[in-house]
Amino acid sequence: MTSHAEALGRARTAADFAAVIALLDTDLAEAVASREGLSHAEDRAIFGDGDLAAARASLDNCDDTIAQLEKVIAAASSRQAIAAQAEARADIEALADEIEGKAALLGARWRAARRLVEQLREELFEADALSRAIATANGLFDGAGLSRLKVSLAAIRRAAMAGSRAAAPARLSRAGLAADRQLLSLLGTGGALDPRPSLRAPVVGAVKNPKRG
């Protein structure tokens, strides 16, 4: 017990207490195992095979050792629980500091996103005005029989929107995925800025198969 008492005195963390408790558990298991042999020795001594007083003294000493070990293990387990709680609180406090920094960074990211969205809106306003001007000019060219002078708005947009796109993170939230789809719809054909009829839209007034009546 002396070495264990010194280790318990030095223990500070839950891991320290766990290591000492493991040693104490080993001693307890050995004491319990030896008690069985001492009990048998007492039984034999009762019937004249051995010194009964010595057998009982050894058995009493073993019982005292077991009781002492159980008491020390219980006290060490209690201190281990207290240390674990303190360490958990310390971890949570450290996490709070980390989250506070991330919250500040998140605010900065949202402000940057807002600036970019406002900049995007301004660009879209200008692009819309230019598209309307070109569409009006195309109408005039058609009316004057000069269709060759028309400018393809779709071709301009496809060329401008061409290029690689960043892949979405694997753990993007549902809200993030929805926002990403909305942004991508501004780039892809058939999206919010390029409304087109579905290629599989039903044909109105389709002629029935004469073979089927």
Q: Is the pTM of this model over 0.75?
A: no
Question: What CA–CA distance (Å, rounded) separates 187 from 181?
Answer: 10
Question: What CA–CA distance (Å, rounded) separates 136 from 151?
Answer: 11
- What is the per-residue pLDDT across 134-189, written as a single tens digit (0 to 9) for each? 999 999 999 999 999 999 998 888 888 888 888 888 888 999 999 888 888 888 77
H/E stretch holding 85: helix 52-143
Any idea what the Cα angle at residue 8 is, between residues 7 and 10, rounded to 5°? Answer: 65
Helix and strand tally (H, E) in the chain? 5, 0
Query: What is the pLDDT at residue 126?
Result: 94
Of 195 and 157, the one with more pLDDT: 157
pLDDT tier for residue 59 given thresholds of 50, 70 and 90: confident
Token pair for residue 26? 């080993």
Cα–chain center distance at 113: 24
Question: What CA–CA distance (Å, rounded) separates 209 from 116?
Answer: 55
Average of per-residue pLDDT across 77-82: 91
**Is the predicted pLDDT of residue 128 greater than 70, yes or no?**
yes
**Is the predicted pLDDT of residue 210 greater than 50, yes or no?**
no
Query: What is the pLDDT at residue 201?
Result: 45
Which residue is it, tokens 């400018």? 151
The pair phi, psi for residue 132, each rounded to 5°, is -65, -40
CB 165 within 8 A of CB 184: yes
- What is the per-residue pLDDT across 25-57, written as a single tens digit (0 to 9) for each? 888 888 888 877 777 676 666 766 666 777 778
Query: What is the pLDDT at residue 18?
Result: 92
Highest-confidence range of 66-70, 86-90, 108-112, 185-189, by mean pLDDT? 108-112
Query: Among residues 20, 137, 185, 12, which one has the least CA distance to residue 86?
Result: 12
Question: What CA–CA distance (Å, rounded) separates 121 from 89?
Answer: 47
Token pair for residue 140? 């005039």
Average of per-residue pLDDT across 59-83: 87
Q: Work out the mean pLDDT of the chain and round it to a whole number.
A: 83
Token pair for residue 57? 């003294």
Query: Among residues 42, 70, 46, which one has the least CA distance to residue 56?
Result: 42
The pair phi, psi for residue 195, each rounded to 5°, is -65, 130
Would you kindly state where each structural domain of the chain is located, as residue ranges?
Answer: 2-97
Query: What is the pLDDT at residue 2?
Result: 59
